[in-house]
Structure 1
Amino acid sequence: MTNDQGVARMRAEVAASWERSAAAGVEVDQRAAPIAIDVPDLRGQREAHPLARVFPLLDDVLGREVSDCGAVMALADAEGTLLWISGHPDKLRKAERIGFVEGSNWDERLAGTNAPGLALATGRDAMVTREEHFRSSVRSWSCAATPIHDPGTSQLLGVLDVTGGDTLVVPQTMAMVRAAARLAEAELARHLTPPPAQDRPTGLRVLLELLGRNEALIGIDDGHGAVSQVRLSRRHSEIVALLAASPRGLTGDELSVLLYEEDGGASTLRAELNRLRGLLGTDLLASRPYRLTAPIAGDWLAVEAQLAAGDLRAAMRGYDGPILPRSSAPGIVQLRDSLAASLRQSLLQSRAPDLMSAWTRSSWGRDDYDMWVAQRAVVPANSPIHTLIEGQLHRLDAEFA
């Protein structure tokens, strides 16, 4: 079976993973996954990792069952490096032949399509069976994986995986892995202790999510760990985004110019602001000038900061789409275009085929002709993705000729 034939019969998320793997330069005949941590350094990495607290629990509730089924259990960090592996001795020896060993990295950009790598890439449960694996050496295996998050911060800590033979390819496997991961998160939550009262932050904080959303999601942290979330209307989303981008505040006239394509009228704006104040509270939305009175943390601000720091990969991971994509408010259009242009220019200069591929696979980047051309220039001519690139360029030539 050729790669093209395999992709044609695959689930969409697996086919997309094959594209990412090919774009990153993974070879189909690559025998083993790369080693990221040498054995002498592994102990220190384990001891310092938050999941060290729950590995014994996972090994007890899941590892034993997996071993009895003739399979192996693995726990990877957020970068895809396998920190712990346990299971049936015979399967462990066979897994060594494909580099499925402690210290190896199974990020799909390094090891090709596999369940731990797919779970990391999508943030969701993943099952990859035999022929769905990108590398031919792994196609006698099947695996199921799910992410584990820090219950206090929601930060991704790693991935729990079960790898074995055809007996794993049943719905109960994914349910078992998911249940074990939730048990681990519950155990981590049990060890969380609130800081002393004198060390707790005071005052409100605003967490604003705008990327890829037509309506903003705003979280209001009371400074003591309680967060209330509100989904705003499109107009209120625009107002909050503009105020968040203007820490010193905006006069009514300034806000009106940024908000309305035509003269919206002072009374209309005042009515919207009064309704918004009713949602957020008078402590958060001040006037004269209009401004948000709490510190702002936003997804688009994080992407801007990562770009400024030169961390393009982190910026791409955080970029879930344009800012309020359906908004036509002049100020929002300016914010949206500025961020997208900065990210796009950094991608064009990066010569990183996997990052370019992530852009051209997206709804906002699929018609970006220049990006497809730049991607073609850095992808090897014998790569499976090269044919895809040529096909997309032909499509764009035909559509926009």
Structure 2
Amino acid sequence: MALSPTDVTQLAAVDSARAARLLSDVRSATLSGQRAPVAPRPVIEQSWGRMLRGGVDPDHDFRTGLLPREEVQRRRESSELRHVLPVLREGLLSVADVAHHIMVVADEEGRVLWREGSSPVLRKADGTGFELGADWREGVVGTNGIGTPVVARRPVQVFASEHFVRSQTSWTCTGAPITDPRNGRLLGVVDVSGPLETMHPATLAWVDSVAKLAESRLRELHQSSLEQLRAVAAPVLARLGGRAVVVDRDGWTAAVAGMPYQGRVALPKSPPAGQRWLPTLGLCTVEPLAGGWLIRASDEPLPRSATRIVLDLSLPRRWSMTVSGDAGTWSHELSPRHAELLYLLALHRSGRSAAGLAEDLFGDPGRTVTVRAEMSRVRRYLGGFLEHRPYRFCEDAEIEVLLPDDPRDLLPHSTAPAVVDERLSRQAP
């Protein structure tokens, strides 16, 4: 009876050596263009495709230089991940050490910043270049438990010969991305790795659950910082007349006066003080405040003339939207889900209902609650440039979408049926 990819994963839990041999045959057949005894799992097959297109050599171990110790320390001190190390250690290290694993934490560029766990396994990891400051981007070292979750934007387990580069095939690696709850930006990846005989299917759910606990801790810290900013804002707003809002550095609202509350104001990354036009607020005066910004809104109406919106999906991990018009130009970095939604709306200028978007994203028109919640978040920064019933860009906006050169690199994390269909249709001759 033929085995499925899921069966191979289950087999690895009871007979890792046999599963490793089978996956070695799968890897050899796939990379040589022959029929494999078992199809690779989709997330692995997609990663291998990216490696082949990118010219990664599966039979030669290529390593970039390690970051200097001073640069590793600088990145540690500036990374938000430093705040959740206690959560990661508590959730992973005690089990990892017993199970002959190590815990590795890398930044959004795939650089290893922390590495702890079983001493014998740490010594083995040195031989594969799994060291502090090492570059484990997928495009550098092939399919792996750090670089592949960065691209896929979801937890990934890579067992034995699912690694693209031969020198890594004696390992099992499981990584989960950690995102910033304030803006959806990728902060890095937490990975648990060890010799291939230590593989267990439950490791994927375990690492993912600890990564989610880390994100919850970041959310708690953010709420605490907003409370502190709220205390600073209260006496300032009490002295002012008119409409005003105090936000943190990422635009999250701490306090408002004279206007309806909105959870977040779309801000440029480093807004200069002075007069600016901001989405949903119009012409404003922006002033620095300890820990954030004081924004005072004028009563001038929102401009609606000659707006150009550029949706940039050309890079594999950094998607953005830039809006230009008479009031100036501003940009916003997009989360993976918002990049999918805005791309679908750019494809359907006449609009899509909530049920239609649910069908596009999940293959299930009944998941309208999720779609409406996400679209509500999108409208916080796109404001008057998005209509609803159905959801669509406003008619007077010129929309341009910048796509990657290779259609297979279009939103590579996405499993949305409509996005997958677009990838395939754009590959067709």
Query: Which amino acid is 1:339 matched to?
Result: E
Matched, 1:175 2:205: yes
1:339 is aligned, of 372, 376, 400, to: 400
**Which residue number corresponds to residue 364 of structure 1?**
422
Query: Which amino acid is 1:131 matched to?
Result: S
> In 2, are the aligned partners of 1:359 and 1:366 still within 8 Å (CA)?
no
More helix by share: 1
More strand by share: 2
**Which residue number corresponds to residue 234 of structure 1?**
none
Query: Which amino acid is 1:183 matched to?
Result: L
Deviation at 1:15, TM superposition (A): 0.7
Deviation at 1:160, TM superposition (A): 0.8
1:303 is aligned, of 308, 315, 320, to: 320
- Residue deviations 1:114-133 (CA, integer Å, cap 9, x gap): 12222111211111111211
Deviation at 1:73, TM superposition (A): 0.7
Instruction: Tell me: CA distance 1:221–1:182, structure 2 relative to 1, closer, same or farther (3 Å).
Output: closer
Match of 2:400, SS? helix
**Which residue number corresponds to residue 214 of structure 2?**
184
> In 2, are the aligned partners of 1:34 and 1:99 still within 8 Å (CA)?
no
**Which residue number corresponds to residue 42 of structure 1?**
72
Deviation at 1:146, TM superposition (A): 1.0
Instruction: Tell me: CA distance 1:67–1:290, structure 2 relative to 1, closer, same or farther (3 Å).
Output: closer
Deviation at 1:101, TM superposition (A): 1.2
> In 2, are the aligned partners of 1:112 and 1:133 still within 8 Å (CA)?
yes
Match of 1:159, SS? strand
> In 2, are the aligned partners of 1:23 and 1:357 still within 8 Å (CA)?
no
Deviation at 1:169, TM superposition (A): 3.3
Structure 2 spans left out of the alignment, 5+ residues:
1-27, 238-242, 265-278, 284-298, 313-318, 325-332, 352-391, 413-419
- Residue deviations 1:328-371 (CA, integer Å, cap 9, x gap): 379879967x513xx24xx55xxxxxx56414975334344xxx
Q: Distance in 1 between matches of 2:74 and 2:114?
A: 13
**Which residue number corresponds to residue 268 of structure 1?**
none
Q: Given the two structures, how large is their TM-score scaled by the length of structure 1?
A: 0.58
Deviation at 1:82, TM superposition (A): 1.1
Match of 2:214, SS? helix
Q: Distance in 1 between matches of 2:310 and 2:231?
A: 29
Instruction: Tell me: CA distance 1:142–1:126, structure 2 relative to 1, closer, same or farther (3 Å).
Output: same
Matched, 1:129 2:151: no
- Residue deviations 1:46-92 (CA, integer Å, cap 9, x gap): 12212122224422431232122111110011111111111212111
Deviation at 1:305, TM superposition (A): 3.5
Q: Distance in 1 between matches of 2:205 and 2:423?
A: 35
Q: Given the two structures, how large is their TM-score scaled by the length of structure 2?
A: 0.55
Q: Distance in 1 between matches of 2:79 and 2:153?
A: 19
Q: Distance in 2 between matches of 1:7 and 1:105?
A: 33
Match of 2:320, SS? helix
1:326 is aligned, of 341, 348, 355, to: 348
**Which residue number corresponds to residue 258 of structure 1?**
none
Instruction: Tell me: CA distance 1:325–1:55, structure 2 relative to 1, closer, same or farther (3 Å).
Output: same
> In 1, are the aligned partners of 2:345 and 2:393 still within 8 Å (CA)?
no
Query: Which amino acid is 1:89 matched to?
Result: S
Query: Which amino acid is 2:192 matched to?
Result: V
Query: Which amino acid is 1:303 matched to?
Result: S
> In 2, are the aligned partners of 1:33 and 1:98 still within 8 Å (CA)?
no
Match of 2:82, SS? helix
1:74 is aligned, of 85, 89, 104, to: 104
> In 2, are the aligned partners of 1:75 and 1:83 still within 8 Å (CA)?
yes
Q: Distance in 2 between matches of 1:144 and 1:73?
A: 10
**Which residue number corresponds to residue 189 of structure 2?**
159
**Which residue number corresponds to residue 89 of structure 2?**
59
Matched, 1:107 2:124: no
Instruction: Tell me: CA distance 1:222–1:142, structure 2 relative to 1, closer, same or farther (3 Å).
Output: same
Match of 2:347, SS? coil
Q: Distance in 2 between matches of 1:42 and 1:333?
A: 49
Query: Which amino acid is 2:147 matched to?
Result: G
Instruction: Tell me: CA distance 1:290–1:316, structure 2 relative to 1, closer, same or farther (3 Å).
Output: closer
Query: Which amino acid is 1:326 matched to?
Result: H
Query: Which amino acid is 1:358 matched to?
Result: D
146-155 vs 70-79, which moves further? 146-155
Q: Distance in 2 between matches of 1:89 and 1:34?
A: 24
Deviation at 1:159, TM superposition (A): 0.8
> In 1, are the aligned partners of 2:100 and 2:198 still within 8 Å (CA)?
no
Query: Which amino acid is 1:366 matched to?
Result: L
Aligned residues: 284
Q: Distance in 2 between matches of 1:43 and 1:327?
A: 48
Q: Percent identity?
A: 25
> In 1, are the aligned partners of 2:103 and 2:191 still within 8 Å (CA)?
yes
Match of 1:134, SS? coil
133-142 vs 43-52, which moves further? 43-52
Q: Distance in 2 between matches of 1:63 and 1:148?
A: 17
- Residue deviations 1:214-255 (CA, integer Å, cap 9, x gap): xxxxxx9867497679xxxxxxxxxxxxxx89x89xxxxxxx
**Which residue number corresponds to residue 289 of structure 2?**
none
Query: Which amino acid is 1:108 matched to?
Result: E
